[in-house]
Structure 1
Amino acid sequence: MLYPLKRAAATTAAALLTALTAATPAAVAAEGTKGAALDGSGECTFPMKEQIAGTPWPLQRVLLDELWQDTKGKGVRVAVIDTGVDNDNVQLKPAVDASAGKDLLKPDKKNSDEKRGKTDGTVDLVGHGTKVAGIIAARPRKGTGFVGIAPESTIIPIRQNDENNSGNDRTMATAIDHAIAKGADVINISQDTVKPLGPDSALGKAVQRAITAGVVVVASAGNDGMDGKVKNTYPAAFPGVLAVASSDRNNERAVFSQAGEFVGVAAPGVDIVSTVPGNGQCIDNGTSFSAPYVAGVAALLKAKHPRWTPAEIIAEIEQTATRSINGHDNFVGWGVIDPVRALSGDDKPQAAPRPDPGPAKPPAPEPAHLAMTETVQERNERYATYALGISVVLVAVIAGTATVIRDTARKRSR
């Protein structure tokens, strides 16, 4: 069974059961926001009458003009496999390709939209998928500083989970195959399960089909990380998937974010603003909202480098991340994603990330010179000594000769 919606990080561990779960702790009011009214349960009410006017903190850290100097993601299709994507919100209406959408759940007889047979994936009774889609592709709107990372990309809405946890790993596999068939370039999966799933499982095979088809698969790492223990979650831990953990304002792992060797990068996941069904925006937390931040960057890279493989796009995102250590760790992977650096990186793709070069090694000490003969200085000193000695001898000889000549001359004169 696929579980959507975790509540506050403090209760996430208790709430997490054993099936695929859309990781979303409760909404927390962010600084400087307007219109972000929260009900008593901590969950955003929607539709919102007012918009959040300010620019969300993750976007404040990104020079959007520089990020978008080459592309805003036009032509790239991102499948959001989630609780549906409501396209009544004006920031999402032009972004959602309802004709390509799909609802894989049985109609809810209590819901008017579902009773009318709306099966295009645009029913979102939870709001989770609508938030995910907004982080990727929300269009600019007057009155709010919130906008998607790839605001010209297209969303394929695929509903395979709801508030009743109706989805499972098989419906997820079906959703992935539908995304491939509808031309998805990127797939975002903000759900996870701790149930061990091998590469031969239905979900494992579907993920591999997507990667083989050239689709970048991005998945949330999960919110069961309060204990700090390392464990795999799926589909994030499947080979070839970019697993995303959550970071906070200090670029450190959010306390709820699941740790594991499979984590590729981290992205903002605390006090995250995004669109809600109907109108306006809301604030929420979780790796569910970190994954689409990365999926949006993947969409921009796909637009800029359409021939790059999924592995090359993932490697670029990982290589350009802001690192706390020189290499990979289990908490934030290769580091916290840097969207501008990822888009302004080398146009030559790489197959895998690598540690940064370490400091240059000091030159090896030169061996001491062992001379078997005298040095030039020693030879010059020796020659000087010889010259002085010869001079002394010559003076003595000359003086002695002069004395002998003098004495001989005296004897003759007598």
Structure 2
Amino acid sequence: MIKTLGLPKAWRTSKGAGVTVAVLDSGVDPGHRDLAGSVVTGRDFTAGANPPGVAPRKLHGTYMASLIAGHGHGPGGRRGVIGVAPSARLLSVRVILEDEEPGFREFNSAERFEDVVAKGIRYAVDQGADVINMSISKELATKEERAAIRYAISKKVVLVAAAGNDGQRKPDANGFAPYSYPAAFPGVVSVGATDRGLRRASFSNWNPSVLVAAPGVDILGAGPGDEYWVGKGTSQATALVSGVAALIKAKYPDMSPALVAQALTAGATRRPPGGYDTGTGFGVVNAAGSLDVAARLAGHTQTAKGAQAQDPARPMAGGHAGPIQVINRDRRSVTLYGAIAAGGAIASITSLGILVALVRKARRVIPQRDASSRPGGDA
């Protein structure tokens, strides 16, 4: 995975220092040895779903957090899980329950929990998140989520979400796998998963919302209580892409979400034939390539910022403001070209009149011919 994403080269430029990645998930274990010191525990928007006294399991959230910013442990941090952006800071925001938690059914059916994702996005933005990882998916969107995403983008926060794991389901009426939210919202980086051969994983959703892909099969990550897990899904792929986004934002903190997305797509490898397909988007994310593209994009934006705005009250080339003066007027040429233009206009009007007459005649003939060619047809 490290080589596939081009991390050794990327880490010479950025390791994510100074960036906060919000992990909207089931909670993160801040005491795991590969995450210790990197996690700030934020709000729990699922409070009340589990019975009193039941502690969150934090399995999925810890797993995703380690892929984003795990720093390893032991001598030189060489053991355990090393995430894509090992120097990044993590903000844990609990917005889902694990399937095994006793309040899971209550959480997914009670109306009071309908907008927890939207609330989590706004909370993360207000807490200073630079990137928001959403390794979560659902089939129905809400207007509150759409508004929260607009709010995040307006604050230059990059949003990354899972395309979903329903790729083996029967295609919809348009011939695609189901759309998943929040990934399918405009402005969100929707991530598909690839297998070991860097082809679309069979479970990964394929539809036009998919922007990029990342490895999503047999991915090692951390679990609560210093455990480790191996799993597959677009969740894992999403966490890896969020890590790459964190590397970019650490190096170029003022870069807009749209330009970060452009760096991710333009820096991708294993591009599909034609440059895009609905399974892997614009290709497999590559951290080194994305940082190279980001450097070029940052150069353009810095040039634009450094340029002085043009004063509309002053002429473009400097000098004294004032009307343009005509030095010489060739009346003979003006008359000649005016006559030519007038003649052309007359010819055009005449041609148009002839064309209209022909069309009217054709309209009178065509219905009769069509009617007579259809046995038993109405005129």
TM-score, length of structure 1 as denominator length: 0.64
- Deviation (angstroms), 1:345: 2.9
Q: Which residue of 2 aligns with 1:135?
A: 67
Pairing of 1:208-287 with structure 2 (within 5 A): 208-227=150-169, 229=171, 230=176, 231-287=178-234
Q: Which residue of 1 aligns with 2:85?
A: 150
Matches of 2:114 and 2:250 in 1, distance apart?
Answer: 30
Matches of 1:346 and 1:85 in 2, distance apart?
Answer: 30
Counting matched residue pairs gives 278
- Deviation (angstroms), 1:169: 4.5
SS at match of 1:85: coil
Matches of 1:332 and 1:63 in 2, distance apart?
Answer: 18
Superposed CA offset, 1:33-75 (max 9, x none): xxxxxxxxxxxxxxxxxxxxxxxxx124345331111221011
Indicate which of 130, 134, 138 corresponds to 1:189: 134
What is the one-letter code of the residue matched to 2:67? Answer: I
Q: Which residue of 2 aligns with 1:75?
A: 18
Superposed CA offset, 1:138-162 (max 9, x none): 1122363530100010111001111
1:331 aligns with 2:279: yes
- Deviation (angstroms), 1:263: 0.2
Matches of 1:327 and 1:214 in 2, distance apart?
Answer: 27
- Deviation (angstroms), 1:348: 2.5
Matches of 2:17 and 2:150 in 1, distance apart?
Answer: 26
Matches of 1:193 and 1:300 in 2, distance apart?
Answer: 28
1:345 aligns with 2:293: yes
Point out 4+ residue stretches in structure 1 off by more than 4 angstroms.
none
What is the one-letter code of the residue matched to 2:290? Answer: A
Task: Look at both structures and tell me which one has the larger radius of gyration over its CA atoms.
Answer: 1
> How large is the RMSD of aligned CA atoms in angstroms?
1.8
Q: Which residue of 2 aligns with 1:175?
A: 120
- Deviation (angstroms), 1:308: 1.0
Query: Using a 3 Å threshold, how does the CA distance of structure 1 residues 192 and 96 change in structure 2: closer, same or farther?
Result: same
Query: Using a 3 Å threshold, how does the CA distance of structure 1 residues 275 and 328 change in structure 2: closer, same or farther?
Result: same
Contact in 1 for aligned 2:266/2:293 (Cα 8 Å): no
SS at match of 1:253: coil
- Deviation (angstroms), 1:257: 0.3
Unaligned runs of 5+ in 1: 1-57, 115-123, 351-414
Q: Which residue of 1 aligns with 2:29?
A: 86
Contact in 1 for aligned 2:184/2:190 (Cα 8 Å): yes
1:307 aligns with 2:254: yes
- Deviation (angstroms), 1:88: 1.6
Superposed CA offset, 1:333-363 (max 9, x none): 101111121123352328xxxxxxxxxxxxx
Q: Which residue of 1 aligns with 2:359?
A: none
Contact in 2 for aligned 1:264/1:333 (Cα 8 Å): yes
Contact in 1 for aligned 2:67/2:236 (Cα 8 Å): yes
Structure of greater relative contact order (alpha carbons < 8 Å, 6+ residues apart): 1
Matches of 1:312 and 1:211 in 2, distance apart?
Answer: 12
What is the one-letter code of the residue matched to 2:154? Answer: T
Contact in 1 for aligned 2:6/2:286 (Cα 8 Å): no
Instruction: Indicate the structure with greater helix content.
Output: 2
- Deviation (angstroms), 1:278: 1.1
Query: Using a 3 Å threshold, how does the CA distance of structure 1 residues 111 and 138 change in structure 2: closer, same or farther?
Result: farther
Contact in 2 for aligned 1:79/1:158 (Cα 8 Å): yes
SS at match of 1:146: strand
Superposed CA offset, 1:145-204 (max 9, x none): 530100010111001111315265401100011001100000011111112x36xx1111
SS at match of 1:81: strand
SS at match of 1:263: coil
What is the one-letter code of the residue matched to 2:43? Answer: K
Matches of 1:267 and 1:330 in 2, distance apart?
Answer: 14
TM-score, length of structure 2 as denominator length: 0.70
1:160 aligns with 2:104: no
What is the one-letter code of the residue matched to 1:206? Answer: A
